[in-house]
Amino acid sequence: MSPRASVARAAILSSAMVLAAACASAPLEAPTAGGAAGSAAPTAAANPVVSRRQPAPVVQAEDSYYRAAAAAVQSRIDARGVKPARNVILFVGDGMGISTITAARIWQGQQAGVDGESHRLAMEQLPWSAFSRTYTHDAQVADSAPTAAAMTTGVKSRNGTIGVTQAADTARCATARTSATTSLWSIAEDAGLATGVVSTARLTHATPAATFAQTTERDWEDDSQVPQSAKDAGCTDIAAQFIAWNAAHGDGFEVALAGGRRQFMPETQADPEYPNSTGGRKDGRDITAEWRAGGANRVYVDGREGFDAVNFASDVQVLGLFEPSHMQYEADRLKDRRGEPSIAEMTRAAITRLSRDPDGYVLMVEAGRIDHAHHAGNAARALADTDALDQAVAAALAMTDPSETLIIVTADHSHVFTIAGYPTRNNPILGLVQYPAGEGNARGIDGKPFTTLGYMNGPGSVCRGVGAEARCERKDLSNVDTTAVDFQQEALIPLASETHAGEDVAVFASGPGAELFSGVIEQNEIFHVMARASRLAK
């Protein structure tokens, strides 16, 4: 067995033991007779830290999506009660649809030398689950910005926007101020809890930015991307909003670990790792220096050496930006001599630091590059990054008390990624479809074999050319290593980038409040479960 397979198996076994303990935790607190609203609130004796919290008002409380989701969650509280959560950890697999979970389950099991089909991911062992409906205010198929904000703020909004309500006008950026929302991370900081965000994408990218930003345009990650007309209207870029948020809420993030240095550095400054690259900011601001100047305990790190040198078991506040853009795919990180922390390592570091706060914490962990690999039509990297997220989930389960920490694992949206073709049991998930009993490769009516995994659209399309010159013809994959990390699965419709899909995604949960996940829910109800279980908002 390879060292990587040994690590995966150890993570799986460790998470299984922790989950057994979680499932054996105390029973739900029963509602009082009549099931009146709020009647199931825990007593002070149940968790004195949580009972001292006073739910904070939120500016989006009158939004129709907020009200509907709050009512839906309240009805489940009336029926089931809710246990108090001292801490909340939200794991987001960006683009991790059901087919991705299934394929990753098989891939992880096969990597560990066990039966992939009957194998179980750490996330799949959480005792509560639901389906989450991912449509947005204006789209059947969502992008990552409003779906992340649905989970962090409790409302549905328009594609391309972050941290605003349906009232935001994407043609008028100043409406981000009049339609702004309050994120659970803002509420937590204001209440004295510790907060953190971990992502393998840029810190200013859609999902991590949903913890702190309010903008009508998700692509305005630094000032060079903001038009002058928007600047004249008082609209600011997401990296600048990061600094403003940290100054406005409590003492700011205790931990923020991700990629995206370029958005925080001036264009006159060379990147510390890639000297031929520079920062992206045209306003001359060094956001990393502003971060350090914002508090006596603040440090900034930009590489593996700096990360390893941080004592996360101290009162340090850490901003870590490990690449100019997104962090490396897990498959590439493992081969890189420079090295950067894995998502599991960043998760362990964040929990170590946040756990020092006696008032509790709220943490987001995003595996952002699952999404990017799918857009590239590259299943191997998507599955490796899903496995890396699962190892981070296992790490969190091993480090936390299941009686006081609500852990949620979900996705923002799905992808047009398929598993098909009647392959035999234990067939390599990245391989060609093999029929049972030595019957050989399955073949299409064109006589050519095909892979189990594929895409509805994307850069791997079998169609080439434009207009009358377009031709659709599949390659003969008989002698192609389809398990190679760079292999691009076949697709139908030719697109430069594969698209998201609109079906529901999974929600897995454990710990106090997890009992509120079941059936089919609206995605923005996830915020309300976190807010009610932690008693941070109503």
Active site residues per annotation: 144
* Domain range enclosing 231: 3-31+83-170+179-416+499-534
In a domain, 162, yes or no: yes
494 contacts 463 by C-beta, under 8 angstroms: yes
**Region 365-385 average pLDDT:** 98
Q: Is the pLDDT of residue 21 over 90?
A: no
64 lies in some domain: no
394: which 2 tokens?
A: 């296992």
Specify if 422 maps to a domain: no
Q: How many domains does the chain fold into?
A: 1
Would you tell me how many other CB atoms lie within 10 Å of the CB of residue 304? 16
pLDDT at residue 337, rounded to an integer: 56
Q: What is the average pLDDT across 214-229?
A: 98
Residue matched to tokens 């520079």: 278
356 belongs to a structural domain: yes
pLDDT at 33: 33
pLDDT at residue 22 above 70?
no
| pLDDT tens-place string over residues 292-346 | 999 999 999 999 999 999 999 999 999 999 999 999 999 999 887 567 999 999 9
What SS3 string covers 392-449? HHHHHHHHCCCCCEEEEEEECCEECEEECCCCCCCCCCCCECECCCCCCECECCCCCE
pLDDT of residue 493: 96
Q: What is the mean pLDDT of residues 161-188?
A: 98
Task: Look at the block and give the residue holding tokens 């990017």.
Answer: 372
How is 213-245 classified by DSSP, letter by letter? --BS-TT--SGGGS-HHHHHTT---HHHHHHHH
What does the alpha-carbon distance between residue 172 and residue 178 come to, in Å, rounded to a whole number?
11
| Tens digit of each residue's pLDDT (9 = 90 or more) over 113-135 | 999 999 999 999 999 999 999 99
- Flag whether 444 is in a domain: no
Q: What is the 3-state secondary structure (H, E, C) of 180-203?
A: ECCCHHHHHHHCCCEEEEEEEEEC
Q: How confident is the model at residue 46 (pLDDT cuts 50, 70, 90)?
A: low
> Would you say residue 140 lies in a domain?
yes
Q: Which of 538, 508, 520 is nearest to 121 (CA)?
A: 508
| Residue 24 pLDDT greater than 70, yes or no | no
Average pLDDT over the chain, rounded to an integer: 92
Distance (Å, rounded) from C-alpha 262 to C-alpha 265?
5
Q: Considering only 16-30, 136-150, 329-343, 413-427, which range has the smallest mean pLDDT?
A: 16-30
Directed axis angle between helix 3-23 and helix 98-111, to 10°? 120
61 CA to centre of own chain? 25
Q: Which two tokens stand for residue 395?
A: 């790490």
C-alpha separations of 120 from 82, 101, 193 in Å: 27, 10, 34
Task: Flag whether 398 is in a domain.
Answer: yes
What does 435-494 look like in DSSP terms, one character per residue? -STT--B-B-TTS-B-BSEEEEEETTBSEESSGGG-EE-----TTS-TTSTT----EEEE
Among 97, 96, 181, 196, residue whose Cα is nearest residue 146 = 181
Residue 288, both tokens: 């990393």
Alpha-carbon distance of 324 to 113, in angstroms, equals: 36
What does residue 430 show for φ and ψ, rounded to 5 degrees? -95, 0
Instruction: Note the pLDDT of residue 223.
Output: 98
The letter for the amino acid at 21 is: A
On the question of pLDDT at 511 being above 60, the answer is yes
pLDDT at 40 over 90: no
pLDDT at 3 over 50: no
In the predicted structure, residue 7 carries a pLDDT above the cut 80: no
> Do 166 and 65 contact (CB within 8 A), yes or no?
yes
The answer to whether residue 96 scores a pLDDT higher than 60 is: yes
Output the pTM of the full model. 0.92
> For 454-507, what is each residue's pLDDT tens digit?
999 999 999 988 888 889 999 999 999 999 999 999 999 999 999 999 999 999
pLDDT band, very low/low/confident/very high, at 26 (cuts 50, 70, 90):
very low
Whether 459 maps to a domain, the answer reads: no
CATH number of the domain to which 113 belongs: 3.40.720.10
Query: Of 218, 66, 223, nearest to 145 (Cα)?
Result: 218
H or E segment and range at residue 318: strand 317-321
Confidence band of 1 (pLDDT split at 50, 70, 90): very low
Contact 440, 434 (CB under 8 A): yes
pLDDT tens-digit map of 396-424:
999 999 999 999 999 999 999 999 999 99
